[in-house]
Each structure stands twice: as structure tokens, then as C-alpha cells.
Amino acid sequence: MSFQIDFGNEKSPIVGIDLGTTNSLVAVMELTGPRILSGIVPSVVSVTDAGGVIAGAEAREMLLTRPDRTVYSVKRLMGRGVDDIQEELKLFPFHIVEGSESTIRLKLGDKMFTPPEVSAHILRKLKLDAEAELGVQITQAVITVPAYFNDAQRQATKDAGRIAGLEVLRLVNEPTAAALAYGLDKRKEGIVAVYDFGGGTFDISILRLHDGIFEVLATNGDTHLGGDDIDNLMLRIALEDIASEWGFDISTKSDAVQLLRRAVISAKEQLSFVPGAKIEMEYGGKTYLREITRELFDKLVAPVIDRTLGPCRDCIKDAGVSVGEINEVVMVGGSTRIPMVRGAVEVLFRKRPHTELNPDEVVALGAAVQAGILSGDVEDKLLLDVTPLSLGIETMGGLVSKLIHRNSTIPASATEQFTTAVDGQRNVLIHVVQGERELVKDCRSLARFDLKDIAPMTAGFARIEVRFLIDANGILSVTARDQRSGKEQSVEIKPSYGLTDEQVEAMILESFDKAEEDFSERQLREARVEADSILAATDKAKQNDAYFELPEEERASIEGHQ
């Protein structure tokens, strides 16, 4: 018997992946609609003592036993610099390697990982799960990102896909994906707001649904606001409690902190359904127990929920609609299970939000719908999304000159003329930033583009036309043309945060070897499962009367093989 999976015949489908802060999911579009494949994969990656990398539920168990070799919520680190994550580091047990200013490097065991590499392990796990279930090889995917992700965070997500051996055909914004799943089979028309409050990020998007077109009018959010923040608030209180009750501080013991974190999350989740819950933990022979009421919990989380309301108001204003014109509000993300969140949304939008969709699954389902649009299987739907942040360049005195405004429908472009300031100047450096503020220092640096090999001439004489293009993934590219010669001007890109193309290529090469390992490991596991079932079937068959009618040598042979 052969356990080889046949990858030859069927057309390989494009999968939709929700790469979440806490959990990830993969889905596929079928004739009957989008379907979730296998189960939820916790977004946790761990390095075993033997040096192997595992992702998912197994890795989450390692959080308790080997917190020093395990990383969770890595999405919060994507496309960021060390300066950005100082708050995180106070509570997350991450070991950041020295000298990783522009690209964070995490140390797990004796191995080092950039955030895209960690995410790639989660993606690879999803890819393998999907392949096992569908029996075909998966090479193309749509991956969702928070709508408010900037260019570097998007690029990092795309890099993660490439490292995992996936061609990322599209990055789609999570609230927009949710709207796709929501409005799929209903002939919905009108204005819909999607409130997406997940594990680590918050997004609000307002869309107009019209004749199969899902047109995003405006989006807003906070890529550093989610259920994690609520966990951390509760955790801090529990840690203080324990310090005073037990007389010593456990916050430096990462196994104890992870144990407590799990207890806190369990209490938080229960509080969405019951008026009171217990935070309970045993550690080093001691027991910690604290009752927490819904009332106290509400008081605790109110400031976190408040932080989502400002972006909602701004988004309504930018969309150019009034609250009364919004027909429906759709809730997405695990944190929208919290009754107080639902209450706050209902007050702001003056209508009861839709909670009938599973807030954990709707984004992955929408990603699968978008995959269906790309493959041509879904013909009548079209998504028109926007860029969440304005794009500008640095001008004299550290000021920002905006070229593409936030909430512009993408793809979007802008052209700008540049010239030289000094006689014989050969290079012009363009600093591109993203953000809404007037000063460069208050915006997010994206990259420096170096226009090179300009023909030497008198100052101010050069005419270089630079084109900034944001594609349908929300990712920027820059091209330049010397208008005097008509020739393409070479542009060297220096990203401010994240990996260069060469670094990603190197990681892909490395992962090819890994993919072989993964593949043989999977074959081994599947063979084992198959063998177990044959053994069980044989055992069962031996109970049958017919078994004893077999010739003795055949029975002996069966016994021998078992």
C-alpha cells in the first residue's frame, strides 16, 4: 500500500488565510461557499530541545513548559523596530537579540528568528493542514492583514508567505474580508460598518455594498490595541496581588507568568457569559485565587474599549456618512464577545450590532471568498479597498508633503518632479513616510529611495519624474524617469524597517530544505495514522467468526505481521 498523496491531477486551489495575533485559520472556496479547513491553529511557535520548530497547539503547550523557547502574538512585532515594542517587552517574555534596530530578531533556544520567519512557521503549519485535508499541494494564498497595517507591516506579512513557500496573491484587509463573507449570499445593499476587535489589533471600516461591489469608504484603527491589552491589565493586577499575598514577586519567572496569563484569559473568556469568574493558579505549592465580577471587569476594560471609539468617529467622518445612514454593524474578532464592547458599539452606532457570525472564523471565510474572486470562481463580486494612511515625502525643514491621501481607493498613484540642488549632483535621496501628521518625526518612516546615476548638470536643471504607486495589496513601489533623456532612472530602496529582498531570498532558500523535512515528517505521521487504523481493523476482524475459518498458516502470518 502506498501513502503517497497524488499532487498531479487536480487544479490546486488558492487558500484564504487569517493570520491572527492569537489564532490562525485557513479556508477554501467551494461550490457551496467558503469552508474552514482543519481547525484553529494557535499563533504560537516553539523550538524543541532537539532543535525542531513546531507551530500551533503543540507549541502553545510549550508556553507553559518552555516559555523561553516559545513565542506568541508575533503579529505585534511584524514590520516594527525595537523602539516600537518597548511596552510589549515589559510583559512578553521575548528575548530580543542586540543590534536589531531596524529588524527585530528573536532568540528561541539557540536559534534566531525575524518576525516574518516566525509567522512563516505558522503559515507552513496551515499549508500542511490544508494539503492533508484537500490532498493537493497548496502554493497560492490570500492572507488577511489588519486594515490599519502600514506598508512595512504588509511587506513583512508578504515576506512571511514567501518564506513559507506560498505565493501571496493578495493581502486583503481583515474587516473587508469579513464584509465579503457577511455579504456573500445575501443580496445586500447599503452602508455597512465592520468593527473588528481581535487579539492584538483594532480596525473599523465603513463600506458601501452595491450590486456586488464592496467599496470601502474609509478605514481607521489601531494596530496596537486588542484582547492582549485586556489580558495584560488583568495580569498586572494578579501579579500585584500575588506579590502582596505571597510576599514575593513572580513576574520574573516566565513559566509562572504564562500559567497566570492562561488563568487570566480563562477568567476573561468566562466573563463574557457569566457575571463572575475566578482567576485560579497553583505554582510552587502555593495557590492563588481571586474572584472577579463582571462589574469590576467592566471598570477595568472601559479605558481599552474607549480607545476604539475615537477611530470609529473619525472613520464615520472620513466616510462622509452620518451615523443614521449606516444600515448595519458587523462584529468581528474574539474581543467582540465582551458584552461591554457590544454595548459601546450599540451606543455609538445607535443600532444593535450583528453577532450571529462566528467572530473567529468570518475573516478566514472572507479570505477564501477573495481567493475565489482571484481564481475566477466567484465572478460577480469585486472589492475596492483603500489605503489606511496618507503617503508623503520629506520636504525642507522636516515637513511632510502628502502625495496620496488616506482612504484613497487602491491601486492609487502620484507623480512628483525632482531636481538637483547642487551643480554636478549625481544622487537624489527621497524619504517616504506614512501618517497623518505634518512633521516627518511624527510619521512612520517607510523607506529612502535613492535616485542614482543622474547625469551631471547645472543645479536645478535635472528633471526627474518619480511615480509612487500603491498596489491592490496596499504596498508601495517607486519608479523614476529622467525626463530629459526619457530613460528609466535607477532607484535603490532602503527600507526603514523590515527585510531587504536579498534577506528574504536567503530565508526562502533555507526554507526549501525545511520544506523537504516537513514533507517527509508529514508522510511519516500519515503513514502512522494509516497503520494504526489497519491494526485496529485487523484486531476487529479477528473477533469475527470467519477469522477462525482461515487456514492456520494465514492466521500465523497475520499474527506475525501485527
Partner 1 sequence: MQFYEAFDLEPALSLDADDLKKRFYERSRQWHPDKFSRASMAEQEKALEMTAVLNDAFRTLRDPVARAEYFLKEKGFELSKEAPPELLEEVFELNMALEELREGDDSARPQLIEARNRFVAMRDSIDESLTAAGDRGDLEEVRALLNRRRYIRNLIREVENVLPN
Q: Active-site residues: which are they?
A: 18, 75, 174, 196
493 binds partner 1 (CB under 8 A): no
Count of CB atoms situated within 10 Å of the CB of 472: 16
Residues 6+ apart with CB under 8 A from 419: 428, 459, 460, 461, 462, 463, 464
CB 485, min distance to partner 1, A:
22
Stretch of 40-48, 117-125, 377-385, 417-425 lying at the interface with partner 1 (CB under 8 A): 377-385
Instruction: Name the strand (E) or helix (H) holding 126.
Output: helix 115-134
Stretch of 95-103, 187-195, 247-255, 380-388 lying at the interface with partner 1 (CB under 8 A): 380-388
Phi, psi values for residue 350, rounded to 5°: 55, 35
CB 23 within 8 A of CB 41: yes
373 binds partner 1 (CB under 8 A): yes
Q: Out of 41, 45, 141, 383, name the contact with partner 1 by CB under 8 A.
A: 383
DSSP string, 202-217: EEEEEEEEETTEEEEE
355 binds partner 1 (CB under 8 A): no
| CB of 237 or CB of 321, closer to partner 1 | 321
| CB of 269 or CB of 416, closer to partner 1 | 416
Instruction: Name the strand (E) or helix (H) holding 318.
Output: helix 294-319
277 binds partner 1 (CB under 8 A): no
Q: Which residue, 45, 36, 58, is CA-closest to 360?
A: 36
Q: What is the dihedral of CA 407, 408, 413, 419, to 10 degrees?
A: -60
CB 413, min distance to partner 1, A:
4
Q: Out of 376, 397, 486, 551, name the contact with partner 1 by CB under 8 A.
A: 376
CA atoms within 13 A on the CB side of 530: 12
Instruction: Name the strand (E) or helix (H) holding 270.
Output: helix 254-270
Q: How many residues belong to the chain?
A: 562
Q: Out of 169, 209, 218, 279, name the contact with partner 1 by CB under 8 A.
A: 169
**Tell me, what amino acid is at 489?**
Q
Residue ranges in 13-32 that form contacts with partner 1 under rule CB under 8 A: none
# chain residues binding partner 1, by CB under 8 A: 23
Stretch of 67-75, 115-123, 195-203, 374-382 lying at the interface with partner 1 (CB under 8 A): 374-382
CB 444, min distance to partner 1, A:
21
Helix axes 362-375, 174-182, angle to 10 degrees: 80
| CB of 376 or CB of 560, closer to partner 1 | 376
CB 411, min distance to partner 1, A:
4
CB 448, min distance to partner 1, A:
23
382 binds partner 1 (CB under 8 A): yes
| CB of 48 or CB of 413, closer to partner 1 | 413
15-19 and 140-145 beta bridge pairing: parallel
Environment class of 5 (CB within 10 Å of its CB; exposed 0-12, middle 13-18, buried 19+): middle
Count of CB atoms situated within 10 Å of the CB of 352: 11
| CB of 70 or CB of 370, closer to partner 1 | 370
Q: Out of 170, 268, 337, 444, name the contact with partner 1 by CB under 8 A.
A: 170
CB 88, min distance to partner 1, A:
31
Q: Which residue, 173, 180, 178, 184, is CA-closest to 218?
A: 173
Dist CA 365 CA 330 (whole Å): 15
Task: Calculate the CA 185 to chain-centre distance.
Answer: 26
CB 554, min distance to partner 1, A:
54
Stretch of 104-112, 406-414, 416-424, 426-434 lying at the interface with partner 1 (CB under 8 A): 406-414
Strand partners of residue 113: 106
| CB of 132 or CB of 491, closer to partner 1 | 491
CB 406 within 8 A of CB 237: no
CB 169, min distance to partner 1, A:
5
Residue ranges in 408-447 that form contacts with partner 1 under rule CB under 8 A: 408-414
Range 309-330 burial, b when 16+ CB lie within 10 A, else e: eebbebbbebbebeeeebebbb
Q: Out of 91, 136, 374, 478, name the contact with partner 1 by CB under 8 A.
A: 374
CB 383, min distance to partner 1, A:
7
Phi, psi values for residue 260, rounded to 5°: -65, -40
| CB of 251 or CB of 479, closer to partner 1 | 479
Residue ranges in 200-259 that form contacts with partner 1 under rule CB under 8 A: 210-211, 213
CB 414, min distance to partner 1, A:
8
Dist CA 403 CA 520 (whole Å): 50
Residue ranges in 48-107 that form contacts with partner 1 under rule CB under 8 A: none
| CB of 49 or CB of 211, closer to partner 1 | 211
Q: Is the previous residue joined to 551 through a cis bond, with omega within 30 degrees of 0?
A: no
| CB of 169 or CB of 338, closer to partner 1 | 169
Residue ranges in 463-492 that form contacts with partner 1 under rule CB under 8 A: 469, 471-472
DSSP string, 346-367: HHHHTSPPB--S-TTTHHHHHH
Dist CA 440 CA 222 (whole Å): 20
Question: Which residues in this chain contact partner 1 in the complex, by CB under 8 A?
Answer: 169-170, 210-211, 213, 370, 373-376, 382-384, 408-414, 469, 471-472
